[in-house]
Amino acid sequence: MAIGRFAGTAGEWLRGAGPEADIVISTRIRLARNVDGFPFQTRANPEQRRELADLLQGALKEVLTKERPLYVDVEKALDLDRQFLVERHLISRDLAGGEGPRGVVVTPPEDVSVMINEEDHVRLQVLHTGYQVRDTWKRADALDDALQERLPPAFSSRLGYLTACPTNVGTGLRVSVMVHLPALVITKHIEKVFYAMSKINLAVRGLYGEGTQAASDFFQISNQVTLGKTEEEILKTLESVLPEVVRYEREARQSLQRDNPSRLEDRVWRAYGVLAHARTITSEEALEKLSALRLGVNLGLVGGVDIQAVNELFILTQPAHLQKLRKDELEPAARDVARAEYLRERLKGKTK
C-alpha cells in the first residue's frame, strides 16, 4: 500500500532541527472537531460514519490540495499498516483499534495528519520539528479555518467547540511538546519537573501519548484543560514553562559534564557499543541506549552520527517498522534479532 513508501525514513518532525532541537524533539498541535448536524461517533450509525468519512476526505483534499496528501482507509488497512501509522505518530491507538469507517489524511512530509472518525469526527494534528509552538499553531489554525469554511463545526457560543468527551470541550486544543530529558533522569531531578507540571495542570506522558508509560527519557508535555481558556492562554501556559524545562535539562547536562565527564562519556559510548554490536535487542533497551547516544551526540561526545539519524532510529526500530523493512511478519524474538541487525547497519563504524 501507499504508506509503504514511508518505511526507511521518518517524518519531517524528527529532522532534529528547529529551536532547542537538542532537547525539544517536536511540537504538536491537535484540534478536536465535530461536523455540525451529525451525531457524535458514539451515537452515529455506520451509514452516518461512512457519509462523514466521505465528506471529510473530500473537504480535506481541497484544504490540503497543495500538500498532495495521502488518504489511508484505516478500516481496510492491514493490522501491520495500522501499527506502522501508530508508531509514526500519524494515528492514535484508538483509531487503529477502532471499528467501522475511519481513516487518516496525511501530508507526505508527515507534518499534518487528520484523523477521521476517531473519538471525534476530526482530529487535526500539525507536527513540527523542535520547539515551534507559534508556527505549529498558526498552521493548525489556518487548516482548521479552511476546513470550517467547508464543513461548519459543532459549536456552542457558551461552551465553544463541542466534543465527544467533555475533557476536550471548549477549544478542543491540545498543545504537546516532546522533550528529551536524559540528564534530568540521570541526576534524578525529573520528578521535580513532573511535580511542577502537575501544579499548573500540564500533563506529562510517554513517547506514545495518553495511556502509555513515559518510555526511557522522552516525555510529552501538554495542557490538560481545554475549556474556560482561550487558545492564546493555553499556548502561553506552555510557553511560560517549556523554556524553564529546557534550561533545567541544559544545566543538568552541564553538571554531568563538569562533575564526572568520564562517567558520562562512558554511559554514552557503552550505549553506542551495545547498539552497534548487539545481536538481539528489545525495543525498550534500544530506546534506552538511543537516548544515551542522542545525549552524547548533542553534547559533542560522539561524532559522525547526526541527530536526525538517531531520532529516526527511535521510530524505525519499532516492531511494525522492522517488519515492513524486512517485508516479513516476525515473532518478537525474531524482531529483536532484526532490530539489532538494523541498528548495526545504521550505526556500526559510523562514529568518531
Which residues of this chain interact with a second copy, rule CB under 8 A?
262-263, 265-266, 269-270, 272-280, 333, 337, 340, 349
Name the CA radius of gyration of the chain, rounded.
21
Residue type, 172: G
- Cβ burial of 292 (10 Å; 0-12, 13-18, 19+) is buried
Question: For residues 239 and 341, which CB has a smaller minimum distance to a second copy in the complex?
Answer: 341
Instruction: Give whole-number Cα distances, 51 to 26, 44, 102, 163, 231, in Å.
Output: 34, 10, 11, 19, 30
CB 4, min distance to a second copy, A: 27
CB 306, min distance to a second copy, A: 19
CB 297, min distance to a second copy, A: 14
CB 71, min distance to a second copy, A: 40
Question: For residues 94 and 265, which CB has a smaller minimum distance to a second copy in the complex?
Answer: 265
CB 265, min distance to a second copy, A: 4
Question: For residues 43 and 279, which CB has a smaller minimum distance to a second copy in the complex?
Answer: 279
- Cα dihedral 332→333→339→341 (10° resolution): -150
Question: For residues 66 and 279, which CB has a smaller minimum distance to a second copy in the complex?
Answer: 279
Question: For residues 140 and 278, which CB has a smaller minimum distance to a second copy in the complex?
Answer: 278
Between CA 41 and CA 94 the distance in angstroms is 13
CB 337, min distance to a second copy, A: 5
CB 60, min distance to a second copy, A: 45
Question: For residues 83 and 317, which CB has a smaller minimum distance to a second copy in the complex?
Answer: 317
Question: For residues 58 and 261, which CB has a smaller minimum distance to a second copy in the complex?
Answer: 261
CB 275, min distance to a second copy, A: 8
CB 292, min distance to a second copy, A: 12
Question: For residues 87 and 285, which CB has a smaller minimum distance to a second copy in the complex?
Answer: 285
Question: For residues 51 and 341, which CB has a smaller minimum distance to a second copy in the complex?
Answer: 341
Using a CB cutoff of 8 Å and minimum separation of 24, what contacts does 63-68 make? 63/143, 63/146, 63/147, 63/150, 64/105, 64/107, 64/112, 64/143, 67/107, 67/108, 67/112, 68/107, 68/108
With contact defined as beta carbons under 8 Å apart, do 271 and 293 qualify? Answer: yes
